[in-house]
Amino acid sequence: MSTPVKVAVTGAAGQICYSLLFRLASGALLGPDQPVELRLLEITPALKALEGVVMELDDCAFPTLAKVEIGDDPNKVFDGVNLAMLVGARPRTAGMERGDLLSANGAIFTAQGKALNAVAADDIKVLVTGNPANTNALIAMKNAPDIPTERFNALTRLDHNRAISQLAAKAGVPVTAVKQMTIWGNHSATQYPDVFNAEVNGQNAAALIDDQAWIENDFIPTVAKRGAAIIAARGSSSAASAANATIEHMRDWVLGSPAGDWISAAVPSDGSYGVPEGIISSFPVITSGGTWTIVQDLDVNDFSRARIDASVAELQDEAAAVTELGLI
């Protein structure tokens, strides 16, 4: 077996991590031949609960789990880490304004960005799942000036998977028949899942479905509001599916995306598709050799353009708000 890859995970005593950590430890990220060392960060009051999670990890006796360390100091927990999954975030509570949410999360992601900058390994890749994910990733990125900006991503893979599942159900095909799905923009209700560039069994999905009313009134809102529907049904937010998406994003980033397809990932914009530089927005992305590239030259029709622009405008608003708060 090779040297363990050090994987940092924040929010480790939370809901998502109760799924995520066991899959990471069992080899779901990097395969059965690559041991991992888990570095788990929590806030001090949650360390006791995290100790219980670690006991359960021990009790699984996973052959690929080389070591687990826990702590509440990012400068220690992130020391030498190769991959960081930033899941922990401050949730929006009743009466909290957007500015309060952004500043509470700003405090978390400025500190974590600085710590990664100071102590992470040279090959660090950072994936932010904690909401507001795109803007939290932007804050971490801006606070880590020595880490190349392309090493910061935010998660829209769950939205991508949700869109594939909804389209497959509508077309009456297995999910494997759906390719080239794209989520554009923010991981929020303004996100735009694009069927105009997607394919079902090699055919253009929008042409095959031929039902604009379904796309506008059913598909897009179902995907964009799926998180709220799960809270309404389950009484708590999506956790196992978010953990799954976090693993899939990082796995594809490290090992490469599937041939003949692309994935959705929120990455620092290079100006592609008219999305201004300076924000972290979701695009169609291909990954290979540990790097990502935005798929170019897709057709963006007027319907898509208006929706992408609206979501990008929201991201620009969030970036302006955190700039005003002095967080970036």
**Contacts to ligand NAI by CB under 6 A:** 10-11, 13-17, 41-43, 46, 87-91, 108, 129-131, 133, 155, 158, 187, 237-239, 242
Residue 19 C-beta: closest distance to ligand NAI, Å: 9
Exposure class string for 121-137: b at 16+ Cβ within 10 A, else e: beebbbbbbbbbbbbbb
Residue 105 annotated as binding? yes
Give the tokens for residue 125.
């890749």
> Is 251 part of any known ligand binding site?
no
Distances (CA, A) of 273 to 167, 180, 189, 195, 284: 24, 17, 20, 17, 11
Nearest residue to ligand NAI on Cβ basis? 14
Is the CB of 2 or the CB of 236 nearer to ligand NAI?
A: 236
Sign of the Cα torsion 267, 273, 278, 280 reads negative
In the complex, the smallest distance separating the C-beta of residue 76 from ligand NAI, rounded to whole angstroms, is 13
Residue 14 beta carbon to ligand NAI: minimum distance, rounded to whole angstroms: 2
Min dist CB 309 to ligand NAI, Å, is 22
Quick check: 205 and 195 in contact, CB under 8 A? yes
Nearer to ligand NAI by Cβ, of 206 and 265: the residue is: 265
Q: Which is nearer to ligand NAI, 41 or 84 (CB)?
A: 41
Calculate the dihedral angle through the C-alpha atoms of 304, 244, 50, 35, rounding to the nearest 10 degrees.
-130
Measured distance CA(89)–CA(187) in Å, rounded: 15
The nearest distance, CB 43 to ligand NAI, in angstroms, is: 5
User: Is position 136 annotated in a ligand binding site?
Assistant: no
Report the residue number, 208 or 257, with the smaller CB distance to ligand NAI. Answer: 257
Contacts of 82 (CB under 8 A, 6+ apart): 5, 6, 7, 120, 121, 123, 124, 125
**12 is annotated as contributing to ligand binding:** yes
249 has catalytic annotation = no
For ligand NAI, give the closer residue by CB, 170 or 187.
Answer: 187
CA-based nearest residue to 71, from 142, 139, 10: 10
Is there a contact between 54 and 42 (Cβ–Cβ < 8 Å)? no
Catalytic one of 125, 151, 160, 187: 187
Q: Is 60 annotated as a binding residue?
A: no
Contact 36, 26 (CB under 8 A): no
Residue 11 marked as a ligand binder = yes
Which residues are annotated as catalytic? 187
| Residue list for the binding site | 11-17, 92, 98, 105, 112, 129-131, 162
| Residue list for the binding site for NAD(+) | 11-17, 105, 112, 129-131
